[in-house]
Chain A
Amino acid sequence: MIKFLTYMGRYVMLLQKVFSKPEKPSMYYKQTIRELMYLGFNSVAIIAIISFFMGAVVALQTVYNTENPLYPKYLVGLGTRDSMILEFSCSVAALILAGKVGSSIASEIGTMRVTEQIDALEIMGVNSASYLILPKLIATVIFNPFLTLISIIVGIFGGFLASTVFGTMTPEDYIYGIQYAFIPFYIIYSLVKTLVFAFIITTVSAFQGYYVSGGSLEVGRASTKAVVFSCLLILLFNVIITQLMLS
């Protein structure tokens, strides 16, 4: 319990340092653009590929589970759309990003710590926590909602291709399904989750990297911890947000 409270205390203190006034906003702006490219744009391909196949599998599974003639065919489109919006494009994508982005953040900051680059920043009078973490946080919070939207669109398209090529339904049924009983609030719910998950992935991974001590072995461990803790917190907050927003 004491260990947990110590961790929480350090995490809150780190966030306090992260959200302090930047020394030179123009330098932070440049760094944010760099992180947008590195953490954001570089994740588009993996998210698109995974979403395409997730959408395809969801659609095919729905096709095979709704073969009863009493079920209308358009349910496949509706099921794929809602599955992608409510869960796959935000939560599952966040778990994937925790692996890709989280481990990258933890290992980058951890390596800077063990090679004294963070000490060098501190000696110069730079708030290292803010300079290293704030641009990453801004970049992921800005870009991850776009990744979610891309994931929704690509996932639904993947479902369309799979169900019309391999399934037994017409494109018209699928398109009718994805338009049927659409609730715009689901998109807001999905984006809210994405923002919270982006915050968790970035800050938890940065925390693990920032306080690493030792050598390359410890950096590797910090990277693993960053992914594990980020995933656990994503799953926990998924339940909390769902209960708060959909109940």
Chain B
Amino acid sequence: MIRVKNLYKSFDGRIVLDDISVEFESGKTNLIIGQSGSGKTVLLKCIVGLHEIDKGEIWYEDILFNKLDFTSKKEIRKEMGMLFQGSALFDSLTVEQNVRFPLDMFSDKSPEEKTDRVNFCLNRVNILNANNLFPSELSGGMRKRVAIARAISLNPKYLFCDEPNSGLDPITAILIDALIKELTEEYSMTTIVNTHDMNSVMENGEKILFISDGVKCWEGNKNEILNSDCEKLNDFVFANSLAKKLRSLR
């Protein structure tokens, strides 16, 4: 479980996150939704410690993460996996070397065991016969799946995904969403996904946090989101013309 309490973050005096408090549950796909520029990515990067927060608390189980020193944070980070918006695969390494990297760095497994684990992770995300390809030779969807394989190679307790289906076609986006949900349930991870894709929200939204202009506006799940009183959330959810028509029919 990850708990965020009264989190504030600003850049050069401009407040980006204003008093955010939320609890992300284990074994569930937790979503952070909001418009572009609402502060989703900053919130996610604050939670994983890539941005220093101005005020507030971030708890991983019973550990106050934001007060830890660099070395202690590194220990928690070994339990994290993250899928970045642009995949962030290492350009100079092949697919296999990318997935193997965390294992080489942090595990004491034998080379054969590492190879087995790499192949298992790649099979799990349906990447076959691509071990020796470089990231530049992969499609966007394949890159995301390799990035997921790398993120789960060390069996993380926490999985973070920053807009996992941005730039993907609708079918591939659905596959990626389904994969994240399956992996979350399979390994009982605490998964936090940043998205503004309503299909992801309706498929995976077991816990949803909606933020607008850095402020928490609404919290709930996919069953409650369509019946919310929050005006900003309704503007976001029913933004496209089809959704507007459906809403008017209700």
Interface residues of A (CB under 8 A from B): 23-24, 27, 111-112, 115-117, 119-120, 122-127
CB contact under 8 A between A116 and B85, given known A124-B105, A125-B74: yes
Interface positions, chain B 52-86, Cβ under 8 Å from A, are: 74-78, 80-82, 84-86
List, in ascending order, chain B residues with CB within 8 A of A24's CB. 104-106
B75, chain A: closest CB distance, angstroms: 7
How many residues in B have their beta carbons less than 8 Å from beta carbons of A?
A: 25
List, in ascending order, chain B residues with CB within 8 A of A124's CB. 77-78, 80, 101-102, 105-106
B78 touches A125 (CB 8 A): yes
Does B238 interact with chain A (Cβ within 8 Å)? Answer: no
Question: Bound complex: CA of A123 vs CA of B84, how far in Å?
Answer: 11
Q: Name the one of A27, A120, A127 contacting B88, with C-beta atoms under 8 angstroms.
A: A120
Question: Bound complex: CA of A23 vs CA of B105, how far in Å?
Answer: 7
Q: Name the one of B48, B50, B81, B88 contacting A117, with C-beta atoms under 8 angstroms.
A: B88
Does B90 interact with chain A (Cβ within 8 Å)? Answer: yes
The 5 closest A-B pairs by CB, nearest first: A125-B77, A116-B88, A120-B88, A125-B74, A125-B78
Closest chain B residue to A120, Cβ basis:
B88
Closest chain A residue to B50, Cβ basis:
A119
B88 touches A119 (CB 8 A): yes
B77 touches A122 (CB 8 A): yes
Q: Name the one of B45, B75, B86, B88 contacting A125, with C-beta atoms under 8 angstroms.
A: B75
Chain A residues touching B, majority SS: helix
Closest chain B residue to A26, Cβ basis:
B104
Supplied contacts A119-B45, A124-B80, 4 more A-B pairs, CB within 8 Å: A122-B49, A123-B80, A124-B105, A125-B74
Question: Bound complex: CA of A127 vs CA of B70, how far in Å?
Answer: 9
21 A-B pairs (CB sep. < 8 Å): A23-B106, A24-B105, A111-B91, A112-B90, A112-B91, A116-B84, A116-B85, A117-B88, A117-B89, A117-B90, A117-B91, A120-B88, A122-B49, A123-B48, A123-B77, A123-B81, A124-B102, A124-B106, A125-B78, A125-B80, A125-B105
B11, chain A: closest CB distance, angstroms: 11
Closest chain A residue to B82, Cβ basis:
A123
Question: Bound complex: CA of A27 vs CA of B75, how far in Å?
Answer: 18
List, in ascending order, chain B residues with CB within 8 A of A112's CB. 90-91
A27 touches B104 (CB 8 A): yes
B74 touches A127 (CB 8 A): yes
A27, chain B: closest CB distance, angstroms: 6
In the complex, per-residue mask of B24-62: 1 if CB is within 8 Å of any chain A CB, else 0: 000000000000000000000100111000000000000
Question: Bound complex: CA of A115 vs CA of B87, how far in Å?
Answer: 8
